[in-house]
Amino acid sequence: MMTLSLEILFWVSFGTIFLTYFAYPVTLLLLAPLRKSHAIDDATPTVTLIVSAYNEAAVIREKIENSLALDYPRESLEIMVISDESDDGTDEIVEEYADQGVVLYRQVPRRGKSFGLTQFLERATGELVVFSDANSIYEPSAVRKLVRHFAEERVGFVVGHQRYIEEDSAASVSESLYWRYETWLKIQESKIGSVVCGDGAIYAIRTHLFEPLREDDINDFTIPLKIVRRGYRGLFDTDAVCYERTAADFGGEFRRKARIVNRSFRAVLRNPGVLNPFRVGLFSYQLVVHKLIRWFVPLFMVTMFVANVALAVQGSLFYSVVLGLHVGFYLLALLRLVPALRDVKPIYIANYFCVVNAAAGLGLLNVLFGKSVSTWNPEREEPQATVATSAK
């Protein structure tokens, strides 16, 4: 009986991990129909571009220059910068562009991005709002690519394609590989009906669909959930491109992902209606498998390993071989601690997988212990050179 229970635990854990990383992409391919596009390429509705910033003096000038150079009618584009009590000269730089129509709103005291959006978005004059980060550099056509999809009445939000600038760090390379996988999933989800979440670097919504956020809400996940709950869908556009740097190291990635999982899980708890398939259709399946189950993968990794050890101890040849593979994978990840081996691709990919899941586990533990996050410092290096919009 004990052996049977251990085997069930092992295979349920394995099956759950397999579902979210491998079976889910297959089901997307099987479910995704060819959907007729209703995009109108020459549409130019009024747009408010909102740039959220906290101590971004190193990048804010480049961001504003980039925004002013967008291929979009200037009379139809409002540029707002919401500064979360920056004290490094960010606000002074923004004010230099006041005569070019760039508007600064300063939030005091510092209360986080979501609170700032709730406080100031009501002053936006555009029919659509595009959300951006201070370090996200847009290709000239990015806003045009985003807004063309709103010709379809049931489209409530559109997510752009954030690309990571290739750096030399293993964290950057691993994140880029992971992001290419995520990008493919978003493309398939759009074909089915709706992409699961937004991207704080580049996504647009219909202004009237914005609902006030709680201070610890994660805006680029909570806002799309609320929009889907109201019967709208979200699309992903690979041609609406922006560029951003990854965190400088795995420590930065760890903190960022733990924070994201903590806030995203809370967003689902606060919007349970999006888990109801009778209300949101296939979106509930996408949300559960792509996000919820993946956040719990650390738990299944632990239970699978513990069950594997117990079964191998009982003398099973099969589970002994599997345990060897199991241990080998984690040893491979640990080899990144050896300086001479840290940049070997299989090693840093295995390490990255473990780091990402450990971060997800920490994020969930923080939810369990009642810890929430509303403000933080950017997890990136100071830029060394101007980012060209043609970067790949």
Question: What is 290-321 written as a DSSP string?
Answer: IIIHHHTHHHHHHHHHHHHHHHHHTT-HHHHH
* pLDDT given for residue 256 in this prediction: 82
What CATH number corresponds to the domain at position 123?
Answer: 3.90.550.10
On whether the CB atoms of residues 151 and 39 are closer than 8 A, the answer is yes
* pLDDT given for residue 385 in this prediction: 35
Same domain, 120 and 21: no
Pairing of strands 128-133, 47-53: parallel
Same domain, 86 and 19: no
* pLDDT given for residue 177 in this prediction: 73
Residue 391 maps to a domain: no
Please tell me the total count of domains within the chain.
Answer: 2
Query: For 35, which DSSP code?
Result: P
Residue 263 maps to a domain: no
Same domain, 224 and 347: no
Same domain, 329 and 365: yes
Same domain, 190 and 81: yes
Q: Which residues of the chain have pLDDT under 70?
A: 33-41, 166-176, 246-252, 373-392
Q: Show the domain range for 114.
A: 47-248
On whether the CB atoms of residues 147 and 204 are closer than 8 A, the answer is yes
* pLDDT given for residue 265 in this prediction: 94
Same domain, 24 and 52: no
Residue 173 maps to a domain: yes
Same domain, 54 and 15: no
Among left, alpha and beta (phi > 0; psi -120 to 50; other), residue 256 is alpha
For residues 161 and 83, give the distance between their C-alpha atoms in angstroms, rounded to a whole number: 24
For residues 250 and 348, give the distance between their C-alpha atoms in angstroms, rounded to a whole number: 10
Residue 269 maps to a domain: no
Same domain, 87 and 124: yes
Residue 162 maps to a domain: yes
| Token pair in block for residue 178 | 């992971």
CA 161 remoteness from chain centre:
11
Q: End-to-end distance of the chain based on CA atoms, in angstroms?
A: 56
Same domain, 20 and 63: no
On whether the CB atoms of residues 136 and 63 are closer than 8 A, the answer is yes
For residues 291 and 232, give the distance between their C-alpha atoms in angstroms, rounded to a whole number: 20
* pLDDT given for residue 384 in this prediction: 39
Same domain, 19 and 54: no
SS3 content of the chain, % helix, strand, coil (to 5): 55, 15, 30
Residue 238 maps to a domain: yes
* pLDDT given for residue 36 in this prediction: 53
* pLDDT given for residue 42 in this prediction: 78
Same domain, 6 and 74: no
